[in-house]
Amino acid sequence: AQSVTQPDIHITVSEGASLELRCNYSYGATPYLFWYVQSPGQGLQLLLKYFSGDTLVQGIKGFEAEFKRSQSSFNLRKPSVHWSDAAEYFCAVGTFTSGTYKYIFGTGTRLKVLA
């Protein structure tokens, strides 16, 4: 069955440091891939998405993600974290099974930023 794994439940980084949030999926083909961010008390907002083409995807707020087929991964990165990036980050995949499209969210990674 398809699945999405975000191995890190919590991550703490210092402001200005680089960030990488991991996302791995299990699916027989290349899924559609998404990263969302959820600030406290708010709904989820799309950061970036990958459907096909260039495996390095640029998103909003200075985020980027790289699709690595060989590792079934779609890790989110930011070169320099700002305090306002503290939030929960969700990876999601869209897959086709028996003609039905399924959209699966990971369990999320909560990011804490130290001043």
- What is the enclosing helix (H) or strand (E) of 48? strand 44-50
**Does the footprint of other proteins cover residue 53 (CB under 8 A)?**
no
Extract the tokens encoding 4: 């999405």
Contact present, 30 and 69 (Cβ < 8 Å): yes
* Binding string, residues 71-100; x marks residues near other proteins by CB under 8 A: -------------------x---x-----x
Residue of 48, 97, 91, 50 whose CA lies nearest to 69: 50
**Does the footprint of other proteins cover residue 22 (CB under 8 A)?**
no
**Does the footprint of other proteins cover residue 49 (CB under 8 A)?**
yes
Q: Which residues make up the interface to other proteins (CB under 8 A)? A: 32, 34, 36, 42-46, 49, 51, 90, 94, 100-105, 107-108
